[in-house]
Amino acid sequence: MNKKLLIVLSVSIVAIVPILTTTASAQNLYINDLRLKAGIDWLNTQGVTQISTSTWPLSANEIERGLQGAQFTNAVQQQVIQSIQTRLSQDRDSLVKASGEIMLQSDRQSLPQTFGDDQLAGQQISGSVGLSEANWEFNLQATFKNDELIDDDSDFSFKGSYIAGMAANQWLIAGKIPAWWGPGHDGSLIRGDASIPVTGFTMQRDTQTAPTYKYLNWVGPWQYQLFAGQLDDYDAVPDAKLFGARLAASPLPWLEVGASRTFMWGGEGRPDSISSFGDAILGTKDNGDNDNGDPANQLGGFDARVQLAPLFNVPASVYGQYVGEDEAGGLPAKNMYLAGIDYASAAMGKPYQLYAEYTDTRTSGEVRGISYDHGTYTDGYYQQGYPLGYALGGDAESVALGGRLWLDGRNFIHAKLQHAKVNQSGELDRRTGEADNQAFPMADKLTAIDVSWEHQLQPLTKLTTRLWAVDADNRSSDIGAGIGLELATY
């Protein structure tokens, strides 16, 4: 799959370079960037902006559209706006962008992942080259890794590579990029970024403006995302496909609602007719041309976020998500849940954000070995043993307390304390005799503290450090550290 992706990207790059103009725009698409997301979330919670961060990738044009309507009332709010504007304009005057990164970290087998946590090897060196024009963009990224957390049978990876084109406010993206569907800070129940990204195609809007048609204008700013890709190393059903769709809208300035659905379909020995695909899309029938009548592996659910600043002048928001493994009466059933609250303020002129998040990936509150599992796609809702949804996998409970602090325009700190019960069913795959969930392969209880610091040494040089400690009942306790250096040319 990696070789195929490299060939596609190389041919596509050769094809589009001659038609690019000599003046490039800023980066068009932003991929799961924690500092960027935290800054936008802070402004939203303060009531300054209304920019959705529930669907990633996120376009630069949408962020800029939201910032243009920002209503700041103090210097701290203006400071956060300026930091985001600086992030967007870093590469505005360049044609070809290049960057390199080296990352070293100790073993982190028990550390729960979080949004944008893509350092998945003990040692890795990455290099990328990209080009952005108003309606086109590509990024070719190659990574050499050693002592990797996720075993994909290769020392090289092209994750983060993509080519994208935009027309009529619609982006079409092909590549190996992560996604994120939902309002959570630490996880999404249906499409998170804990696994190596699934290679495929993504389609979504550029700017999320409200419909102009008078009878639909009430929908407010809205976004959709469609995805189609093929899973790597899915041994239970080789060449299985993953499809997904998400729709999110803000009908009121203080409310965002979303609906998401994914399904695994096809693959070796599975039906691949148009009618069976239609049945999978409808979700109301089994794949009827298969003798044993097994359905596609489907997930679906809803989420919402309520901003309290427009309602009560309180800089906080509450949010929730629920996703079902089954359907009953047209609604998700056998549900998993996520709920949280966050607060944004400033102390001594320094903006900070606090959040508390509870997640339950059991089956409607019961440990049944059903969540992220399936009778036909027996490797479950995982790729290479790592969840395509919430990072802890199925049959987990988690409480996380987190915070972000901007010391100044060059220093950003993220900290999290998390207590979790993981893989409580301890169920083993009947085909392999091993756990589908290789992130947490046995039932366990753990408490983790995770602190990271991002320091902008120079405009084109960034230093990242990380410290963590994990105390687990059944796995070795873990105290670790990591350091990374990123160099860029614009």
- 94-131 residue pLDDT tens: 568 899 999 999 988 899 999 999 888 999 999 999 99
pTM across the whole model: 0.92
- Angstrom distance (rounded) from CA 46 to CA 310: 9
**Residue 477: what pLDDT?**
87
Element (H, E) at 223: strand 222-230
Does 393 have pLDDT greater than 70? yes
Q: 294 or 434: whose pLDDT is higher?
A: 434
pLDDT tens, residue by residue, 136-152:
999 999 999 999 999 88
With 0-12 CB in 10 A as exposed, 13-18 as middle and 19+ as buried, what is 219? middle
Element (H, E) at 404: strand 397-408
Does 173 have pLDDT greater than 50? yes
Average pLDDT over residues 276-301: 73
Instruction: Please say whether the beta carbons of 344 and 372 come within 8 A.
Output: no
Q: 455 or 14: whose pLDDT is higher?
A: 455
Token digits of residue 127: 């290099």
Token digits of residue 157: 């990876």
- Angstrom distance (rounded) from CA 485 to CA 356: 30
**Residue 92: what pLDDT?**
56
- Angstrom distance (rounded) from CA 300 to CA 203: 19
Instruction: Please say whether the beta carbons of 386 and 438 come within 8 A.
Output: yes
Average pLDDT over residues 218-233: 98
Q: Which residues face 132 on adjacent strands? A: 137
**Residue 168: what pLDDT?**
98
Lowest mean pLDDT among 55-64, 288-297, 372-381, 401-410: 288-297
Residue 63: phi and psi, rounded to 5, are -60, -45
Q: 142 or 2: whose pLDDT is higher?
A: 142
**Residue 315: what pLDDT?**
99
Does 270 have pLDDT greater than 50? yes
Q: DSSP string spanning 21-69?
A: -SS--S--EE-S-HHHHHHHHHHHHHTS-----SEESEEHHHHHHHHHT
Does 90 have pLDDT greater than 80? no
Res. 13 pLDDT band, cuts 50 70 90:
very low
Q: 44 or 119: whose pLDDT is higher?
A: 44
Average pLDDT over residues 170-198: 98
Does the CA dihedral 368-374-380-381 come out positive or negative?
negative
Res. 15 pLDDT band, cuts 50 70 90:
very low
Average pLDDT over residues 473-486: 94
**Residue 294: what pLDDT?**
60
Q: Give the chain's mean pLDDT.
A: 91
List Cβ<8 Å contacts ≥24 apart for 337-342. Answer: 337/189, 338/182, 338/184, 338/187, 338/188, 338/189, 338/303, 338/390, 340/183, 340/184, 340/185, 341/316, 341/317, 342/41, 342/45, 342/185, 342/316, 342/317
- Nearest Cα residue to 84 out of 115, 120, 41: 41
Question: In terms of DSSP bridges, do strands 162-167 and 121-133 run parallel, antiparallel, or are they unpaired?
Answer: unpaired
SS3 state of residue 94:
coil
**Residue 279: what pLDDT?**
87
Does 1 have pLDDT greater than 70? no
Percent of the chain with pLDDT strictly greater than 90: 80
Does the CA dihedral 166-167-169-175 come out positive or negative?
negative
Res. 6 pLDDT band, cuts 50 70 90:
very low
Average pLDDT over residues 10-35: 59
Identity (one letter) of the amino acid at 89?
S
Which DSSP letter does residue 139 get? E
**Residue 293: what pLDDT?**
58
**Residue 179: what pLDDT?**
98
How far, in Å, are 128, 177, 461 from residue 141 at the CA level? 4, 11, 18
CB atoms within 10 A of CB 414: 22
Percent of the chain with pLDDT strictly greater than 70: 91
SS3 state of residue 187:
coil
Does 69 have pLDDT greater than 80? yes
Does 287 have pLDDT greater than 50? no
Q: What is the largest CA-CA distance in the chain?
A: 67
Instruction: Please say whether the beta carbons of 455 and 485 come within 8 A.
Output: no
Q: 96 or 268: whose pLDDT is higher?
A: 268
List Cβ<8 Å contacts ≥24 apart for 223-227. Answer: 223/52, 223/55, 223/247, 223/248, 223/249, 224/248, 225/55, 225/179, 225/181, 226/202, 227/179, 227/191, 227/198, 227/200, 227/201, 227/202, 227/203, 227/262
- Nearest Cα residue to 45 out of 313, 259, 350: 313
Residue 456 CB-half CA count within 13 A = 16
Average pLDDT over residues 205-230: 98
In 113-169, where do the E strands start and end?
121-133, 136-148, 156-157, 162-167
Res. 331 pLDDT band, cuts 50 70 90:
confident
Average pLDDT over residues 276-303: 75
With 0-12 CB in 10 A as exposed, 13-18 as middle and 19+ as buried, what is 69? exposed
SS3 state of residue 235:
coil
Lowest mean pLDDT among 116-125, 239-248, 289-298: 289-298
CB atoms within 10 A of CB 236: 20
Average pLDDT over residues 152-158: 90
Domain 2-489 in CATH 3.40.50.150: no
